[in-house]
Structure 1
Amino acid sequence: MRRRLIQSTLAVVLVVIAVFGVSLVIVETRTITESARERVESEAVRLASIVDSRLLVEEKVTAAVLRDQVTEDRYVVVRLPGRAPIEIGDKPEGDAISASASGEEGETVTVQEPRSSVTREVGRTLLIIGLVALLAVIAAVLLAVRQANRLASPLTDLAETAERLGSGDPRPRHRRYGVPELDRVADVLDSSAERIGRMLTAERRLAADASHQLRTPLTALSMRLEEITLTDDPETVKEEATIALAQVERLTDVVQRLLTNSRDPRTGSAVTFELDEVIQQQLAEWRPAYRSAGRAIVTSGKRHLRAVGTPGAVAQVLAALIENSLMHGGGTVALRTRVTGNQAVIEVTDEGPGVPADLGARIFERAISGHNSTGIGLAVARDLAEADGGRLEMLQAKPAVFGLFLSRTPPRKSQDDGRQTVR
């Protein structure tokens, strides 16, 4: 890349020098020639005036008298009526610039200047133009090298940063290069690094949660299977097997949710789905619990909204918010849907006292809870939302209003590997 930048810059400079240099040489050559011609003509007029003035006072006109008036390297011929021509200087050999002037007494003065003097002056001008062109080329090369290094070095650095991200090192470098376009790429890479770091952290946390959440159902299932192996009563076996199958179904659901939580977004699990279906599912699942608590859960807002994400993950986020309202909120819980820009928003709010001021800024941190709960629910919900390409925010503290933001842009296929990606 450095070589191409230097070559292209040098080529542009050479073209400019060729175009303007040739034009300048032509103009300067003509200017010098015309200037020499004007000087010779002026010399002839001046000498004719001197001859006139001497003839008027009847003084002799000789070569000795006029020699001091003639510029060096010029040849002058003065022709007087009835007299032999007066020659001053050496007659130039070859081509010469000549001019004549006539006086009032009938005399004629002819002045000649060797063209070699004009050629020397043109040569000096060409030398100056050549030196300026050479300095321009040197300056262009130095500037091209500087620009090439300024552009190529950051690109190499950005390539190394991208390679580090691909190798699993998500630490942002926060380097800027003073070039807006390259700084924009660096911003994107740093944002991607931070996002990848958050996703890896979320996966590690979810893996830790999995070991805790799966331990109890697996232990219970193991006990049921042991009961089956220790009895010969068919009815007992059937009863224990039925209970074990129910536990397997619940365990399967837990495993599915954990796999959904810890998924890689590049696997193509993000799809376009109907928000109404997920919301109605959550309402049906939580209404019995709210009814037992003497409370209600309702939905309102824009219908038939479609969003991009994983329905299971969205359901888990909503479940965490609904459970949080059941445990810590009060009154009727409302799920409202709306659209902002290119995002679909699901708001969950209740009529309770809201989030305490000392917890507001830390409500999504792990192990942060105001009522002796585990403090994992909202933290996991935010991780789920971010892993799914959305975000979860607390929009209002009193009464508490949480908003789940999901993209409405449909997924499209990547041209490189055919995997489904969300744009």
Structure 2
Amino acid sequence: MRRRLIQSTLAVVLVVIAVFGVSLVIVETRTISNSAQERVDSEALRLASIVDSRILGEEHINAEILRNQVAEDRYAVIRVPGRPPIEVGIQPSGDVIHSTAKGEEGETVVVQEPRSAVTREVGRTLLIIAAVALLAIIAAVLLAVRQANRLASPLTDLAETAERLGSGDPRPRHKRYSVPELDRVADVLDSSAERIARMLTAERRLAADASHQLRTPLTALSMRLEEITLTDDPDIVKEEATIALTQVERLTDVVERLLTNARDPRTGSAVSFDLDEVIKQQLEEWRPAYRSAGRAIVSSGKRHLRAVGTPGAVAQVLAALIENSLMHGGGTVALRTRVTGNQAVVEVTDEGPGVPTDLGARIFERTISGRNSTGIGLAVARDLAEADGGRLEMLQAQPPVFGLFLSRTPLKRPPLVDEEEPTVR
């Protein structure tokens, strides 16, 4: 592109120089030639006038007297009737410019000038025109290179940006070039980069959330199936199979909720439910793991509380807190329920060292972990709690106390704007 821009600009300049340069050469050549002829004519008339004056005054006329009246590079011949011709200067050879003038006393004056002087003057003029044309060409080339770089460099940048988008680097560059058309392309690419970045973030977050939320039910399901394989008692097999089916239902609920949130995070399924049932289910699910670790998990507090939320989501929040205490805490884990205002609160605490001081409020940020874990469990738990109008907070760092706050009365959701349901591909 640079080469084409430079070549096209240079071609235009050369055409302009050719048209106007040739015309200027022709005009200047004619002007110089006419000026030389006018000078010779004027010289002849002036000499004739001088000779007339001397004849009328009966003064002596010779070459010495007229020598100062004729230019050095000119030759003049004065013919006076009845007298020999008077020659002034050296007669030029070759092509000459000449002029003849007649005086009132019958004398004839002929003035000649070599045409080489005109040729030299025309040559000087042509050199000047050529130098100006050369400067114009150099200026045109420099301007063409500058314009080519100004247009080609942004296109190269835009091509690199598009290539980065295609290679999975969606960072917008926010670079503009003071060219409206190119800036428009840059705006579109930056907008596309931001959309791609949001889509990639959402996909990665969905994958991380899915892997984390599915891990616990799958582990519990695996434990139940192992129990089935290790026993021949039909009653135990039936009991473990029932619990396994419960875990399968929980897995189904987790998957449906993940897909629902991926399509539209505003959609909720909050209902009024018995909080004791969810806590009881979590205790039964986690007691085997705690017994294996030589620890206990208990519950206390106010009973028969009803809360508003999605039972599956609340169970996942409590499971994240219980698992967090199992991995990072110590001693007995206690789930306490209480009421504050119009909210039911479930507190999860253990006897471990608590949350490190350097983590503090960042404990709910993704990738933040006190040990070698994924660092997304509490972040996912907080998102699940807030999805149905609740909230998850760290009430105390040492010993750790986490509180899940749930409303006790149904929330009035604003009506959703009718939108075309996106197609899942």
Q: TM class by shorter-chain length?
A: 0.5 to 0.7
- Structure 1 distance, partners of 2:97, 2:85, is 20
> How far has the Cα of 1:32 moved from its partner?
0.8
* Structure 2 counterpart SS, 1:76: strand
- Structure 2 distance, partners of 1:65, 1:374, is 124
Please tell me the residue identity of whatever aligns with 1:62.
Answer: N
> How far has the Cα of 1:69 moved from its partner?
0.7
Cα contact 2:54–2:60 (8 A) shared by 1: yes
Alignment of 1:28-43 (within 5 A): 28-43=28-43
> How far has the Cα of 1:149 moved from its partner?
2.7
- Structure 2 distance, partners of 1:225, 1:165, is 46
**Pair 219,49 (structure 1): closer, same or farther in 2 beyond 3 Å:** same
Alignment of 1:20-419 (within 5 A): 20-211=20-211, 255=255, 258=258, 313=263, 316=264, 319-320=267-268, 374-376=385-387, 403=417
> How far has the Cα of 1:74 moved from its partner?
0.9
- Structure 2 distance, partners of 1:161, 1:373, is 37
Cα contact 1:80–1:108 (8 A) shared by 2: yes
- Structure 2 distance, partners of 1:202, 1:84, is 116
Count the aligned residue pairs. Answer: 292
- Provide the TM-score with structure 1 as the length reference: 0.56
Please tell me the residue identity of whatever aligns with 1:151.
Answer: L
- Structure 2 distance, partners of 1:377, 1:131, is 82
**Is 1:12 paired with 2:12?**
yes
**Pair 87,323 (structure 1): closer, same or farther in 2 beyond 3 Å:** farther
**Pair 144,260 (structure 1): closer, same or farther in 2 beyond 3 Å:** farther
- Structure 2 distance, partners of 1:226, 1:81, is 149
**Pair 376,29 (structure 1): closer, same or farther in 2 beyond 3 Å:** farther
- Structure 2 distance, partners of 1:403, 1:187, is 29
> How far has the Cα of 1:25 moved from its partner?
0.9
Deviations 1:236-255 (A, max 9, x none): 9xxx8xx979x77x977975
Cα contact 2:37–2:97 (8 A) shared by 1: yes
Deviations 1:335-377 (A, max 9, x none): xxxxxxxxxxxxxxxxxxxxxxxxxxxxxxx999xxx972247
> How far has the Cα of 1:225 moved from its partner?
8.8
**Pair 129,95 (structure 1): closer, same or farther in 2 beyond 3 Å:** same
**Pair 260,90 (structure 1): closer, same or farther in 2 beyond 3 Å:** farther
> How far has the Cα of 1:116 moved from its partner?
0.5
Deviations 1:199-225 (A, max 9, x none): 111122223443466568878988999
Please tell me the residue identity of whatever aligns with 2:68.
Answer: D
- Structure 2 distance, partners of 1:404, 1:69, is 107
Deviations 1:255-279 (A, max 9, x none): 57856876xxxxxxxxxxxxxxxxx
**Pair 156,74 (structure 1): closer, same or farther in 2 beyond 3 Å:** same
Percent identity (aligned): 73
RMSD: 4.4
Deviations 1:137-160 (A, max 9, x none): 222222222233333333322222
Cα contact 1:75–1:89 (8 A) shared by 2: yes
- Structure 1 distance, partners of 2:63, 2:75, is 12
> How far has the Cα of 1:66 moved from its partner?
1.2
Deviates more, 1:214-223 or 1:52-61: 214-223
**Pair 254,56 (structure 1): closer, same or farther in 2 beyond 3 Å:** farther
Larger radius of gyration: 2
> How far has the Cα of 1:28 moved from its partner?
0.9
* Structure 1 counterpart SS, 2:386: coil
Stretches of structure 1 lacking an aligned partner (at least 5 in a row): 263-312, 329-365, 379-398, 412-419
Stretches of structure 2 lacking an aligned partner (at least 5 in a row): 272-307, 310-365, 367-377, 390-412
**Pair 108,206 (structure 1): closer, same or farther in 2 beyond 3 Å:** same
- Structure 2 distance, partners of 1:260, 1:114, is 103
**Pair 162,59 (structure 1): closer, same or farther in 2 beyond 3 Å:** same
- Structure 2 distance, partners of 1:405, 1:5, is 49
- Provide the TM-score with structure 2 as the length reference: 0.56
**Pair 209,63 (structure 1): closer, same or farther in 2 beyond 3 Å:** same
* Structure 1 counterpart SS, 2:61: coil
Please tell me the residue identity of whatever aligns with 1:112.
Answer: Q
> How far has the Cα of 1:34 moved from its partner?
1.0
Cα contact 1:225–1:244 (8 A) shared by 2: no
**Pair 401,109 (structure 1): closer, same or farther in 2 beyond 3 Å:** farther
Deviations 1:286-307 (A, max 9, x none): xxxxxxxxxxxxxxxxxxxxxx
Cα contact 2:260–2:267 (8 A) shared by 1: no
- Structure 2 distance, partners of 1:58, 1:127, is 51
* Structure 2 counterpart SS, 1:375: helix
- Structure 1 distance, partners of 2:265, 2:128, is 78
- Structure 2 distance, partners of 1:70, 1:89, is 8
> How far has the Cα of 1:130 moved from its partner?
1.0
- Structure 1 distance, partners of 2:83, 2:159, is 93
Cα contact 2:261–2:267 (8 A) shared by 1: no
Deviations 1:45-84 (A, max 9, x none): 2112211222221212222111101112111122222222
> How far has the Cα of 1:121 moved from its partner?
0.2
- Structure 2 distance, partners of 1:24, 1:255, is 85
**Pair 119,221 (structure 1): closer, same or farther in 2 beyond 3 Å:** same
